[in-house]
Amino acid sequence: MELILMALGACFLYVLQRVLYERFWKKGLTADAAFQGNPAVCGGEAYLLETVINAKFLPLSILRVKFRIGRELEFVTGENSAVSDYTYRNDVFSVFPYQKITRKLRFYCRKRGYYEIKSLDLVSHDLFFSGHFIETLSLDSHLYIYPAAADCGRLNVPFQKMMGTCLSRSRLVTDPFELKGIREYQTYDSMRSVNWKATARTGALKVNVHESTASQNIFLFLNMDSDYPWASEALREEAISICGSFIDAFVSAGIPTGFFSNGIDAAAEEPSFVPAGAGAGHVTRCMEALSRLRYDISLTPFETLMREGSLEKKAEDCLYIMISSCKRPELQTAYQEFCRYSPGSLWIAPLRPEDEAVFSLCPAALTMKWEVPYDKI
């Protein structure tokens, strides 16, 4: 009789806990996966903060938190991960009643891009592991990984040339009574603009920056076409890095700068375009657009976009910089038409060491070979 009562009691307890877990396992249960260090930079590190809160009386002896993320984010500890086209995380928690658990996962940013976690799957069991329960939570967690900075030493030569051209072509009418700020002296600055008080105070040459009624804008053409299929990703990523570094340098120098690319903005699903602008917020906008840039789909040839007319309106009255490893004749001819009305414009070609930078059909542009070393290809 006692055995029967014990068996009945065990059955009752099993059914009771089963009913309790079926009804209440997800009550008061929340989970989150949030990126820290946003934005990050390609080649750097960032963190993912996992948080689980169990605000109820039932413990969860095993709670699995599952989500999918881009495989270019390489977690320092590869445990609980399966990698294919994506990284699939399967992190296990044991949560007591009314407990909050937080984990900080470090990862390497292997590639520029825009990464999202759109949902989390929560999987748990009752006390006897006789079944499992699943709940999917919507999530809006994203991370921008900016392109790596280009080589500053090599960037300085074309930057100084373009700054000199900007100043010589500038139609600015500066107001000597409206001081915008003070910045470091550059080789292209006139000694008349030196602020001697600030120079004496800091021990380094400082120049005044005045408000103006108009300015010479710079517009970058970022072409994602390539003549070299086997090395195309390395050359394209180098081009994106050059573009981002130019934007940061010119905007920091007070020159309104924008860019256009035939690469596709992953958010807008159209060719990427940011009009010329200035200020720290504008640099952020440009870098986010460059992070979202895709070239792994069919692209419209850049010369086609240049001949449509809409691009000319977007970039009118500007000094141009073409960044393109592709040198096909049609593109050179199209860019030549732009440069005829903007003398001093530039073409930078990220190329392999053995490639020649020949631009015989675009004599109006200054040209520069940007050699990409083999260890990047």
Residue 289 domain-assigned (yes or no): yes
* 102: Cβ contacts below 8 Å, ≥ 6 apart: 49, 50, 51, 52
- Report the alpha-carbon distance of residue 2 to residue 5 in Å, rounded: 5
* Residues 163, 140 share a domain: no
Pair (47, 160) in one structural domain? no
Same domain, yes or no, for 99 and 239? Answer: no
pLDDT at res. 132? 83
Question: pLDDT by residue (tens digit) across 296-348?
Answer: 888 999 999 988 866 766 666 789 999 999 999 999 999 998 888 888 899 99
Q: What are phi and psi of 229, to 5 degrees?
A: -55, -40
In the Cβ-directed half-sphere of 269, how many Cα atoms lie within 13 Å? 0
Classify residue 321: in a domain, yes or no.
yes
Instruction: List residues bridging with 117 in a β-sheet.
Output: 141
Nearest to 211 by CA among 178, 172, 177: 178
Has residue 229 been placed in a domain? yes
Q: What radius of gyration do the chain's Cα atoms show?
A: 29
Consecutive 10-residue averages of pLDDT for the chain (377 residues):
70 74 90 93 95 94 93 82 79 95 95 95 87 91 96 86 74 49 69 75 76 69 86 91 96 92 94 93 97 93 85 74 95 91 90 88 91 84
Within this chain, do residues 64 and 129 fall inside the same structural domain, yes or no? yes
Res 55: pLDDT: 95
In angstroms, the CA 377 to CA 218 distance is 29
Enclosing H/E stretch for 199: helix 196-202
Say whether both 368 and 243 belong to one domain. yes
| Residue 347 and residue 365 in one domain | yes
**Buried-exposed string 271-291: b where 16+ CB fall within 10 A, e elsewhere:** bbbbebbbeeebbebbbbbbb
37 C-beta neighbours (distance < 10 Å), count: 15
Provide the pLDDT for residue 313. 65
Instruction: Tell the residue number behind the tokens 């759109």, with chain if given.
Output: 118
Mean pLDDT in the chain?
A: 86
> Are residue 134 and residue 238 in the same domain, yes or no?
no
101 and 230 share one domain:
no
Final residue belonging to a domain, choices 146, 161, 184 = 146
* pLDDT given at position 187: 66
Q: What is the CATH number of the domain that holds 85?
A: 2.60.40.10
Indicate whether 335 belongs to any domain. yes
Beta bridge partners of 132: 125
- Asked, for residue 187, whether it belongs to a domain, the answer is no
Residue 40 lies in a domain: yes
Residue 177 covered by a domain: no
Instruction: Give the domain-ending residue among 146, 163, 193.
Output: 146
Q: Are 238 and 376 within 8 A, CB to CB?
A: yes
Q: Which CATH number goes with the domain that contains 232?
A: 3.40.50.410
Count of alpha carbons within 13 angstroms of residue 98, beta-carbon side:
1
Which CA distances in Å does 207 have to 172, 190, 254, 267? 17, 9, 12, 40
Which pTM value belongs to this model?
A: 0.82
> In terms of domains, do 162 and 294 share one?
yes
Domain-embedded: residue 208: no
Provide the number of structural domains found in the chain: 2
Domain that holds residue 367: 152-172+214-376
DSSP track, 242-253 = HHHHHHHHHHHT
Asked whether residue 356 falls in the same domain as residue 257, the answer is yes
Distance of alpha carbon 103 from alpha carbon 52, whole angstroms: 9
Tell me: do 158 and 271 sit in the same domain: yes
- How far is it, in rounded angstroms, from Cα 166 to Cα 344? 9
Identify the pLDDT of residue 129.
Answer: 79
Residue 159 and residue 123 in one domain: no
